[in-house]
Each structure stands twice: as C-alpha cells, then as structure tokens.
Amino acid sequence: MTLNPWRLRLLADLAAYGTVRAVAQRGNLSPSAVSQQLATLERETGTALLERTGRRVRLTAAGVLLAGRAREILAAMDAAAAELRGLGDEPAGTVTLAVFQSAVHALAVPAVARLASRHPDVSVVLLELEPHESMPALRRGDVDVIITTTDFVGAELDPGIDLVPIGEDAIVLVLPAGHPLAAHETIDLAACADQRWTFDVTGSYMSDLATRLCREAGFEPAVICRFNNYMIALQHVEAGLSVALLPSLAVSPRFDVVVRGLRAPVARRITAAVRRPLAAGPAVNAVLSELRNR
C-alpha cells in the first residue's frame, strides 16, 4: 500500500480544522476536490476513514489513527527536506523575530549579537509582542519566529506550529529595599494580602497570571497602577510605592529592589515557535540555534 503525502496532509488538516470547507480554504481547493481526494485515500487504505453525520463528516477511529500518523510522517518529511536544503548553504536573508518584553534584552538581543558574528548575511528584524499577540502573528505569517510561553490561557497549540524548548523562567516577588518581607528567603503569597500592587496591563499574560496567583492565595490584589513596561514597574517598586509579581528575566540589576521566590514555586515555560514545515531555510534554523545556545 502506497500512501500519497498530499492526501495524508488533507486528512491531517481535516482532523485539525474540523470541516471539509476549512480544509479546502486552507489549501485553496474546492470542497468537492477535497472530498474526492479523501475518498481516494479511503480506497487506497481499504478502510473507512470518514463517516457522515447530516451535511458534515467526521473521522472514524481509523481516520483519527491515520491522521495522527500522517502528522508524524509529514513532519519527518518536512524536516528532512529542510535539512537537505540547508546542506552546504550559508544562512542568509531576513528573519522577523517577535519576543515578549522581558526576553528582549535577556534572550533575543544576545542571540542576535551572536548570530551577527557567526552569520553576517542573516538580518534579524526584532519586534516586541506579548504571548497573546505573537502566536496569532505567527499563524498569520506576519513573523517568522517567536519567543513565547505556552502557559497562558488561550495558548491552544496549532498542529501547523512547531515548538522549540528554550528553558524556564521563575515568577518572583519584587519588593522595595528594606521591605519587612525581604527578611524571608521565600514568600507565602498569602502574606502579601495587604500590599499595594503594580500589575501589567489588563488582559496581558502577566496580569492574568498575577491575578490568578493572588486569588489562589486567598485575596483580591489592591492594584494601584498598571504598566506595560517592566522598567517603569521596577521604578515604582524601587520608590517603595508598591510590590510586583514579575518574571525573573524582567528584573534588571540596575534597580535597587529585593527579589524573592514564592513558597509555592511558579515558573513559565519559554519556547520558540515557528510555522511548519521548518522550510523557511537555514536563516530561521540559525536564529533558533542561537536562541537555544544561550
């Protein structure tokens, strides 16, 4: 039995997007053409892959199984094709990299500097985008690579996106110098119920996370200001006007603040993400390599 990769991709897309119409739109095909190709795949496999419920179709158990295997097969083929294209090619071209705020100076700028010395023909356009903004931008094709975290609510993974692990980043409590809680090595967040807080802007990853952690600790935080710039937030804490929950990457040593871990540790997983296939070529792969070699 020989399986056609194109038909396997259509089946995998149907599993991911749910309707023949959506698969057709994604592949610039007519719905009837998609249905014909899936019917051909059923004949090739000798197995019922689809069942019809009214005007819609859904995958049978065999269809779900084959769709899962199809994603693995196609990913391996895409990776092999990208590797072959990259053999002997010096990376060159422009790569657009979107990064959340706290990773700009801690991760992205050093990686871009290393890249410039090793691969001078690769140019990187660096954008600041928070996780709830960067993943949609990647899906739309507005950027080539993002540094993000998959921990935020709404970070549904797309089968068309590959994730490249980079590391973890602890969430820490930032206090003014001399604050009474600074005497402790780690902080039970419940002890901060009477504090005044600086938060990120409403709807952002860190605002949602900090709100959830405070509520889980048994209190509603008294938020007295919101900034979308961590440097301003750190200035506010340094002045003794508030405390903050921040990613450790965001805490610059230039500020006279005290950083303490949480008694119940919280960390976010940091990843790079690219669209499948990894066929954007050697330039994107070079950027990913530098991001991982921090």
CATH for 169-267 (1.10.3720.10, 3.40.190.10, 3.40.50.10860, 3.40.50.20): 3.40.190.10
CATH 3.40.190.10 fits 93-167+269-292, yes or no: yes
Question: What pLDDT, in 10s, does the model give residues 130-142?
Answer: 887 888 888 878 8
Residue 283 predicted with pLDDT over 90: no
Which ranges of 165-219 does DSSP label H, i.e. alpha helix? 205-216
All CATH 1.10.10.10 domain ranges of the chain, comma separated, are: 5-86
Strand ranges (DSSP E) for the chain? 50-53, 56-59, 93-99, 122-128, 145-149, 161-176, 186-187, 196-199, 222-226, 244-247, 257-262, 267-275
- Provide the pLDDT for residue 153: 46
Do 138 and 273 meet the contact criterion of CB atoms below 8 Å apart? yes
Q: What is the dihedral of CA 36, 40, 42, 44, to 10 degrees?
A: -170
201-213 per-residue burial string, b: 16 or more CB within 10 A, e: under 16: eeebbbbbbbbeb
Cis amide leading into 282 (omega within 30): no
C-alpha 27, offset from chain centre = 24
Indicate the DSSP class of residue 76.
Answer: H
- Taking residues 113-129, what's their average pLDDT? 92
All CATH 3.40.190.10 domain ranges of the chain, comma separated, are: 93-167+269-292, 169-267
- Provide the pLDDT for residue 225: 95
Residue 152 predicted with pLDDT over 60: no
CATH for 5-86 (1.10.10.10, 1.10.1740.10, 3.90.1150.10, 3.40.50.300): 1.10.10.10
Do 246 and 206 meet the contact criterion of CB atoms below 8 Å apart? yes
Question: What pLDDT, in 10s, does the model give residues 267-277?
Answer: 988 989 888 76
Do 276 and 161 meet the contact criterion of CB atoms below 8 Å apart? yes
Residue 46 predicted with pLDDT over 60: yes
Which ranges of 18-146 does DSSP label H, i.e. alpha helix? 20-27, 31-45, 61-86, 101-103, 109-118, 131-140
Do 84 and 263 meet the contact criterion of CB atoms below 8 Å apart? no
Residue 229 predicted with pLDDT over 70: yes
- pTM more than 0.85: no
Residue 279 predicted with pLDDT over 60: no
Q: How far lies 104's CA from each of 13, 31, 229, 236, in Å?
A: 34, 43, 12, 21
Question: What pLDDT, in 10s, does the model give residues 234-254?
Answer: 999 999 999 999 999 889 889
